[in-house]
Amino acid sequence: MSEASLAQATKLLLPSNLAVLPVFLMMSVTLRDQLSERHLAFWCLIGLATELLSLAAMWRYRRERARGGTGLRSLGLIRASTVAVGAAWGSSLLVPNPKNT
């Protein structure tokens, strides 16, 4: 049961995590005049880090499954990827309102 749910979560969750970077780049273009370049660069680096973490999780899961494993050894990386994506999206809530600056 846990193997089937892990496989399903990996097929659904990791590809959606990989869609984070284009959204981050688009939001950074939109927020260009509202944030300093330093904050914007830091925010894009967080987006890139989450992208790389999601790619590593997917690669490790697929490699383990191809070798005949269950994929459970990559569970920690999958969870870390999910937490990183959630934290990155949560950080977008901290962008100041342009009328409040």
Task: Report percent pLDDT > 70 for the chain.
Answer: 64
Q: Is residue 57 part of a domain?
A: yes
Indicate the Cα dihedral angle 29, 32, 38, 43, nearest 10°.
Answer: -40
CB neighbourhood size of 24 (10 A)? 22
User: What is the span of the domain harbouring residue 73?
Assistant: 11-93
Q: Is residue 74 part of a domain?
A: yes
- Give residue 67's pLDDT: 92
Q: Annotate 26-58 with b (16+ C-beta within 10 A) or e (fewer).
A: ebbeebeeebeeeebeebeebbeebbebbeebb
- Give residue 95's pLDDT: 63
Instruction: Identify the band that residue 98 occupies on the pLDDT scale cut at 50, 70 and 90.
Output: low
pLDDT digits (tens, 9 = 90+) for 21-70: 677 767 767 766 766 777 777 777 877 888 888 888 888 888 988 999 88
Q: Is residue 101 part of a domain?
A: no
Our separate counts of H helices and E strands in the chain read: 4, 0
Q: Is residue 69 part of a domain?
A: yes
**How far apart, in whole angstroms, are the C-alpha atoms of residue 37 and residue 49?**
18
Q: Is residue 6 part of a domain?
A: no
The type of residue at 40 is: L
Number of folded domains that form the chain: 1
Q: Is residue 39 part of a domain?
A: yes
Q: First-to-last CA distance in the chain?
A: 51
